[in-house]
Chains A and B, each alone.
Chain A
Amino acid sequence: MIEVDEKKMPWSKDLTMASLLATLENVDFCSVVRLNGRLVSSPKFAETIIPDNSKIQLLPLVAGG
């Protein structure tokens, strides 16, 4: 299992961040996530493998600086 924004979700082997987000609704603003506390940005979603028992937070970034 993994936790996405504190909700439990099933985990599968070779699950990537891109494939996880493809299963979620309304994630247009999600270009950055925290995967087990570490920032991962959208250009790296496809290559980022999610380990089992991971905690993921979706960051809705609009502005910065």
Chain B
Amino acid sequence: MDKINLKEIKCISYERAEIKKGYTDKSLRINLDANEITISSIEERIKNKFIGGKGYDLWLMWNAVKASTKWNDPENTICISSGPLGGTPGYPGGGKSIVTSISPLTGAPIDSNVGGYFGPYKKFSGFDVIQVDGKAKKDTIIFIDGIENKIKILEANDLPTDSYELSDALTRHFDVDKPVNVSVVTAGPGAEHTNFGCLNFSWWDAGRKRVRYKQAGRGGIGTVFADKKVKAIVARFGAISMKSNNPADLDALKLVTKSHAKEIRELDPKQNRMSLVGTTHLVPIMNDHDCLPVHNFKFGSHPESRVIGEEVYEHIFDKGFDGCWKGCTVACSHGVKDFSPFTGPYSGKKVFVDGPEYETVAGCGSSLGIFDAHTIIEINFYCDAYGMDTISVGTSLAFVMECFENKLITLDHTGGMDLSFGNRFNALEIIHQMARGEGFGAIVGKGIRQMKQIFAKDFGADMAFMQDIGMESKGLEFSEYMTKESLAQQGGYGLALKGPQHDEAWLIFLDMVHNFMPSFEDKAEALHWFPMFRTWFGLCGLCKLPWNDIIPEDNKNTSEPAKVAKHLGWYADLFSAVTGRKSSPEDLISMSEAVYNFQRIFNLKMGFGTREHDTLPYRAVGPVTIEEYESRQERYDEQLKEKYGLDISNMDSKEKVAVLRQKREGQYELLKNAVYERRGWNNNGIPTVETVKRLGIDFPEVLEVLKKNGVA
């Protein structure tokens, strides 16, 4: 790119707020309708209750949107925050941004936790959280310059259309001498033309001297970004140190940072080896436990999965430091150097691909019947460059392929493309179509929930069957774990506030493998504490992986090994050290519980958030088809006989499928009852007045929403 052509529309100078104990106590609002830039103070009561990160995002959004607000209304808001602990160099996973908006897929608040340097750079530039609303008339760049203390709204012309080139060009433009000072948030053409656009958050890889990025993938926030005609948000800041957060106790911060980083450095090589293989170690593990989605979650394993797991990617990933935050010792953000795509606009060129992670391998590989590492890398590259979520892309395409194989859709509908499982060339072609908003790809880009309506209405497809096999809940496509044999993880997906994403609760090992939670009450308890700890990372600007993906050697000797108490103690110490607010591990739960329940009530405000919305496609619960049943017949037969005490000697497979379904769906409803009770919600899944009072979120507007829904 020769020269960037930007026209200044608005510029303000500001006095950068001093960071105190992890907070700037300021928010920044950019309104694109009027090109207004507003800096506001954050009230102490909001800080104490919502902590930061996702909590701040949700509070600002709650005040910005109405119950009737749709994702593409001007008042819909994109919020990006860090958190009080975000920006601590050397703390593993200590540089996350949390992004929220009203989702094009779900119509409700969506949140996404992402690496890269943007969140800390924005905070150290003076803002705990930024809020972008309104709609620009022309392509726009928002520039937060924490070095010059200026905020600019810029009109952009003739910029590269995809994230891959755009983030590189803007990084070099905004600090040609020190590109490490710049982090860029971008989307791409796929975000413009699909409902599952993602955002790429960049950082400068000093070792490789190139821009890298991670994705805020879930729920289509990139689509909202593109709809607002925002091409990029850029943050620029200088050197960062342990003192940058102005912590309450610097020595304590140094001690806890050193302890956690050292443990990961020592134990990761003995455990999951994420600093070498990222999360691709999960491919063989999930496959062996029958939890790897194969052919749209029909099956949980496949013999060819061995060629798309860690043993392959360990040799493909480029060697070097791969932390998406400064000094992170997990350093799992691996990439592929000098990759040469064989399709699309980069065909024959050499590119650097950030990824793939487990979710992309499973969603765009095994679930599509594509057992080819090269194709998965290419899909990964284009999804990122186009600004599309690899999870929703993969899960949507898997649904399409099963519909095609069952003749619910035909060559007439797909533009002549055979979309059988394993057809990697046509899978890639659909992805290019999605990005262009053309052909059958334009339909796929709407996501599974809308595809079901279109296939039924326009193509005469069987809606009941599509409801069973379409892997979405609340409108969001499933992330990539099979849940048929883990009732707790069915709850982990079905009861997740934003939809079926595993970042809220991942209980497959604790439930299915270790059988640590045999009763409904046990599962409900885990579906309380696990999401609360995970929520806390999103409040504070941290990554979830260092909590329980690397385990202390003496963890098995503790009273509750599942909680990894040593790490929770460190997190409480970290919070205390930075904020000066003395905290225990139990306090982390109470911080999260307030925000978690607030988000549930936010869903309610937007017309969701009740029992009927916590449903799952039956494919997530049990075998939909006779083929699936018979593929694991021994397992299912035994359950019908032993667990449910049925005489199945005269049943054929069709009858067995039906009776197993009745039993399993009944179990899921019982699980909902137990979880609602544990969370202090009524039987319709709504927090009670007692609960919101206990949590201190009994604001008048919250009580009003409850009252409107019959809770007083």
Pair B548/A63 contact, Cβ less than 8 Å = yes
For B503, the chain A residues whose CB sits under 8 A away are 65
Q: Are A41 and B289 touching (Cβ within 8 A)?
A: yes
Q: State in angstroms the CA–CA spacing of A39 and B290 once bound together.
A: 15
Are B288 and A28 in contact, CB atoms less than 8 angstroms apart? Answer: no
Instruction: Choose among A27, A40, A59, A61 the residue with the greatest number of B CB atoms under 10 Å from its CB.
Output: A61
Q: A62-B509, A62-B548 are in contact. Are A39 and B556 (CB under 8 A)?
A: no
Minimum distance in angstroms from B546 CB to a CB of chain A: 11
B509–A26 touching, CB < 8 Å: no
Residues of chain A in range 48-65 having any CB-CB distance to chain B below 8 Å: 57, 59-65
Asked whether, in the complex, the Cβ of B564 is within 8 Å of the Cβ of A61, the reply is no
B152 vs chain A, min Cβ distance (A): 38
**Inter-subunit contact A57/B285 (CB<8 Å):** no
Which residue of the partner chain A has the closest CB to B288?
A: A41
A36 at the B interface (CB under 8 A): no
A39–B285 touching, CB < 8 Å = yes
Bound-state CA distance A47–B479 (Å) is 31
A62 and B284 in contact (CB under 8 A), knowing A28-B556, A31-B509, A43-B290? no
Decide if B284 touches A41 in the complex (CB within 8 Å): yes
CB atoms of B513 and A31 under 8 A apart: yes
In the complex, whether B508 has a CB less than 8 A from a CB of chain A is yes
CB within 8 Å for A38 and B272 given contacts A60-B551, A62-B561, A65-B279: no
Q: A29 contacts which chain B residues (CB < 8 A)?
A: 514, 551, 555-556, 561
A59 and B271 contact, CB distance less than 8 A: yes
Q: Is the CB of A43 within 8 A of B288?
A: yes
Is B549 engaged at the interface, CB distance under 8 Å to the other chain?
yes
**Known: A29-B556, A42-B513. Contact between A60 and B288, CB under 8 A?**
no
A8 within 8 A of B: no
- Say whether B285 contacts A61, CB under 8 Å: yes
B479 touches A28 (CB 8 A): no
Determine how close the nearest CB of chain A comes to the CB of B134; give it in whole angstroms.
Answer: 36
Is B252 part of the contact surface with A, judged by Cβ < 8 Å? no
| B359 to chain A: closest residue by CB | A65
Q: Cβ of B506 and Cβ of A65 under 8 Å apart?
A: yes
Closest to A38 in B: B311
Q: What is the bound-complex CA distance between A24 and B514, given in angstroms?
A: 16
In Å, the complex CA distance between A5 and B310 comes to: 21
- What is the bound-complex CA distance between A26 and B222, given in angstroms? 46
CA distance A60 to B553 in the complex (A): 9
Please state if B562 and A62 are interface contacts (CB–CB under 8 Å). yes
B315 CB to nearest chain A CB (Å): 13
Closest to A57 in B: B270
Q: Which residues of B contact A63 (CB under 8 A)?
A: 506, 509, 544, 547-549
Asked if B662 is at the interface (CB within 8 A of a chain A CB), the reply is: no
* Contact B288–A64 (Cβ < 8 Å): no
How many whole Å from B400's CB to the nearest CB in chain A? 24
* Contacts A31-B514, A63-B548 given; does A39 touch B509 at CB 8 Å: no
Residues of A within 8 A of B598 (CB): none
Interface 0/1 of A1-27, CB less than 8 Å to B: 000010000000000000000000011
B530-565 CB contacts (< 8 Å) to partner A: 544, 547-549, 551, 555-557, 561-562, 564
Q: Are A64 and B282 in contact (CB under 8 A)?
A: yes
Contacts of B547 in A (CB 8 A): 63
CB of B424 within 8 Å of the partner chain: no
Residues of A within 8 A of B325 (CB): none
Nearest Cβ on chain A to B552's Cβ, whole angstroms? 9
Which listed residue (A5, A57, A60, A65) contacts B282, Cβ 8 A?
A65
- Please tell me if the beta carbons of A44 and B509 are within 8 angstroms of each other in the complex: no
Contact of B284 among A26, A39, A61 (CB under 8 A): A39
Residues on B with C-beta less than 8 A from A64 are 279, 282, 285-286, 358, 502, 506, 508-509, 549
Residues of A within 8 A of B136 (CB): none
Tell me if B510 is interfacial: C-beta within 8 Å of chain A: yes
**How far is the CB of A28 from the nearest CB of chain B, in Å?**
6
Residues of A near B281 (CB, < 8 A) are 39
Rounded to whole angstroms, the CA-CA distance of A38 and B418 in the bound complex is 37
Chain B residues, CB < 8 A from A38: 311
CA distance A31 to B556 in the complex (A): 13
Partner of A32, one of B270, B285, B544, B561: B285
User: Please, how many angstroms separate the alpha-carbon atoms of A42 and B289 in the complex?
Assistant: 8
Chain A residues proximal to chain B, CB less than 8 Å: 5, 26-29, 31-32, 38-44, 57, 59-65
Pick the 4 closest A-B CB pairs, nearest first: A41-B288, A63-B548, A60-B551, A62-B548
23 contacts between A and B (CB under 8 A): A26-B557, A27-B556, A28-B516, A29-B556, A31-B289, A31-B509, A32-B285, A39-B281, A40-B288, A41-B284, A41-B289, A43-B288, A61-B509, A62-B509, A62-B564, A63-B509, A63-B544, A64-B279, A64-B508, A64-B509, A65-B279, A65-B359, A65-B479
- Apart from A28-B514, A41-B289, what are 16 other A-B pairs with CB-CB below 8 Å? A26-B557, A29-B514, A29-B551, A31-B513, A39-B285, A41-B284, A41-B288, A42-B289, A60-B271, A60-B556, A61-B513, A62-B548, A63-B509, A63-B549, A65-B480, A65-B502
